[in-house]
Amino acid sequence: MPKVRIDNETYEFEGRPKLLQFCLDIGVELPHFCYHPSMSVPANCRQCLVRVGTPARDRGTGEMQVDEAGNPVIQYFPKLQTSCSLEITDGMVVETHRSSEEVAGAQKDNLEFLLINHPLDCPICDQAGHCPLQIQAYKYGPEGSRFEFDKVHKPKHIRLGPRVVLDGERCINCTRCTRYTSEVSGSHQLTIIERGVRNYPMTPPGTEFDEPYSMNVIDICPVGALTSADFRFKARIWEMSKTPSITVANAKGSNCYYWVKDNLVMKVTPRQNMDVNEYWLADEDRLDYERFNKDRPAGPMINGSAAGWDAAYGEAARLLSSVDPSEVLFIGSPFATVEDNYLLTKLADSLGSPAPQYIRHVEIGKGDDWLITDEKAPNHQGCERLGMSEIDAEIAAARIQTGEIKLVYVLEEDPVVAGVLSASDMDAVKVILHPYNVTNETLHGANVVLPAATIVETVGTFVNIDGHAQRVRPAKAIRGVNRTLVMEMGESRADRHGTPFDRWHNETNLVDCQPGWVSLPEVAERLDIEMAYKGPRQVMEEVAGTVDAFQGATYEAMGLEGVRLMEIGAAV
């Protein structure tokens, strides 16, 4: 196998890798700004310079030249090379800043150049703390600058579009953002304008940077030049914890991090998963977090008045046993986890009621063939795979009106908005509801309200539109102590932020809600139905072991990147 020597270590390589990517892959860090693995390589930032040589060959014979000791003679390129654009060849010898003073010096000088007109306003910059320019200037840059002139001032706080704000002075013109719009998203909305010290990215006059994937440039910008209109100045990076999870604004299940401060989700950023969303997120996924923070119920309720959890579970059980099981309509939810839907199915089954149905949320034409889907709920595949069928709103409404159905048990859904229930039916029929938000229109007539934990407060599984089963993890705490949640939280957050054990812990904004895998067994227990699981992990083990459509979907297997399930209906 061909070999390359980097800082006196020899590595084997396959194919024709580029040097920078190869180094990053083997864990040899090299400073860089403009290079991004998903885009073309313009080699314009010049930060990734290394010293490179190749074995000298005899011109006549093509034989490798060797010195007296029998080692190959290395011929160095006369100038330092940009590692991002250099293809590795067999026998290549590379010196990085670790072994070459010349390289270290060049990287330092380059940073001095990049910083000539940089405003150095890190203390008020959103990017500070996770800024490649800041980090690399700190690690490899000069201590001061010899350019003691007035800086060139460029436009600041310019709204490039509704969601992205530009600070032209911070830009180092790496062209990642413009390449993103021309090579990745294909909107072609950004370009670098002007030249020399005057240039920065801009939309051409009369247009806006408003593509549905515009906010990705915020993450790939290696400085704080592009910031989120929505998140600007709200929190410093070190004040937040980040939890790996998935987004739920559509059925793609794009992988993300939820950033939390004081038990509020502050922002959502993409998490790399080459099987799902690669490096990207749709803007709708990023802006889908206010509902985790706002309009949350104050706690359980019975007939419109606040109640304790115990009383509310008891009342739910009493209502369920007060009607004939055949008169209960169970409504599952494509917003809820597989685990919770499964438990609901079990509850219905144990009671002898018809199997739960679910409400489909499709907006035809909303989707594209990238990360936005027509399907507006994250887990309809999970419901389908559990064997739940789509509810026919008209038929269900008719059965409620004729009195055929006397009780509706709703898991994390809003049947009033879906047209299954109308406000006037609510007097005739009893309703038990697990809502996320008080904006849920079914809430008003509900007899028992058991507030549900949202995706950022629970543990569970979602199956995306392509049959990719993925786990969600708790990003923020809820009121009350739940051992499973605390443990999962500790696992999902290296800094244990928000758990009672960390120094940032605070009690503000805790929502009094429960995951379905807590509340459903509580109700079942009061009906003398056996539903004792150690937690969602065990529920999912059972699902994976007993339901063919979930074969292999254990927590261990899903890990951080999920598993691709067999197609529904495929022969097992």
Partner 1 sequence: MAESGHGKVVKLPDRDPKPAFSKEDLVFASEEKKRIAGFVEEYEKPDGAIMKALWLAQEKFGFLHPDVIQLVADEVGIPYAQAYGVATFYTQYYKNKTGKYVLDVCTCFSCQVCGGYDILHYLEEKLEIHKGETTDDGLFTIQEVECLGACGSAPMLQVTNGPYVHHLTREKVDALVDALQNGQMPSFTSITLPQDEDEMGGNRRTDVDKTEAYRTPPVAETVE
- Applying CB under 6 A, the residues found at the interface with ligand FES are 32-35, 43-48, 82, 84
Give whichever of 149 and 233 is closer to partner 1, judged by the CB atom: 149
Give whichever of 190 and 549 is closer to partner 1, judged by the CB atom: 190
Residues 423 and 444: their CA atoms lie apart, in Å, by: 8
- DSSP-assigned letter for residue 170: G
Site string (91-130) toward partner 1, x via CB under 8 A: ----------------------------------------
Give whichever of 178 and 447 is closer to partner 1, judged by the CB atom: 178
Restricting to residues 162-181, which ones interact with ligand SF4 according to CB under 6 A? 171-177
> Does 144 sit near partner 1 (CB under 8 A)?
no
Sorted by sequence, the CB contacts under 8 Å of residue 381 that are 6+ apart come out as 251, 463, 464, 465, 467, 568
- DSSP-assigned letter for residue 101: H
Q: How far is CA 221 from CA 108, 130, 139, 285, 410, in A?
A: 21, 11, 19, 19, 44
Measured on CA atoms in the order 502, 503, 507, 511, is the torsion positive or negative? negative
Restricting to residues 213-252, which ones interact with ligand SF4 according to CB under 6 A? 221-223, 225-226
Cβ atoms of 77 and 53 within 8 Å: the answer is yes
Residues 5 and 335: their CA atoms lie apart, in Å, by: 52
Using CB under 8 A, which of the segments 18-26, 45-53, 145-153, 427-435 binds partner 1?
Answer: 145-153
177 binds, among ligand SF4, partner 1, ligand FES, none (CB under 5 to 8 A by kind): ligand SF4
Structure tokens at 537: 């992990």
Q: Least distance in Å: CB of 482 to partner 1?
A: 51
Cβ atoms of 1 and 13 within 8 Å: the answer is yes
Nearest to 51, CA basis, from 24, 79, 73? 79
Cβ atoms of 18 and 159 within 8 Å: the answer is no
Residue 351 has phi, psi (to 5 degrees) of -75, -20
Give whichever of 85 and 199 is closer to partner 1, judged by the CB atom: 199
Q: To which H or E segment does residue 328 belong?
A: strand 328-331
Residues 314 and 299: their CA atoms lie apart, in Å, by: 15
Q: Least distance in Å: CB of 205 to partner 1?
A: 4
Q: Least distance in Å: CB of 176 to ligand SF4?
A: 4
Q: Least distance in Å: CB of 85 to ligand FES?
A: 6
Give whichever of 225 and 338 is closer to ligand SF4, judged by the CB atom: 225
Look up tokens 């029998």; give the residue.
70
> Does 149 sit near partner 1 (CB under 8 A)?
yes
Look up tokens 């909303």; give the residue.
366
Give whichever of 115 and 443 is closer to partner 1, judged by the CB atom: 115
Give whichever of 83 and 484 is closer to ligand FES, judged by the CB atom: 83
In angstroms, how far is CA 458 from the centroid of its own chain?
A: 15
Give whichever of 207 and 322 is closer to partner 1, judged by the CB atom: 207
Residues 437 and 451: their CA atoms lie apart, in Å, by: 8
Considering only 31, 53, 201, 515, the residue that binds ligand SF4 (CB under 6 A) is 201
> Does 155 sit near partner 1 (CB under 8 A)?
yes
> Does 168 sit near partner 1 (CB under 8 A)?
yes
Site string (173-212) toward partner 1, x via CB under 8 A: -----x--xx-----xxxxxxxxxxx-x-xxxxxx-----
> Does 30 sit near ligand SF4 (CB under 6 A)?
no
Q: How far is CA 153 from CA 119, 150, 198, 200, in A?
A: 8, 9, 9, 11
Q: Least distance in Å: CB of 551 to partner 1?
A: 46
- DSSP-assigned letter for residue 18: B
> Does 145 sit near partner 1 (CB under 8 A)?
no
Residues that contact partner 1, how many (by CB under 8 A)? 30
Please report, as ranges, the residues that interact with partner 1 according to CB under 8 A.
149-155, 158, 168, 178, 181-182, 188-198, 200, 202-207
Please report, as ranges, the residues that interact with ligand SF4 according to CB under 6 A.
171-177, 201, 221-223, 225-226
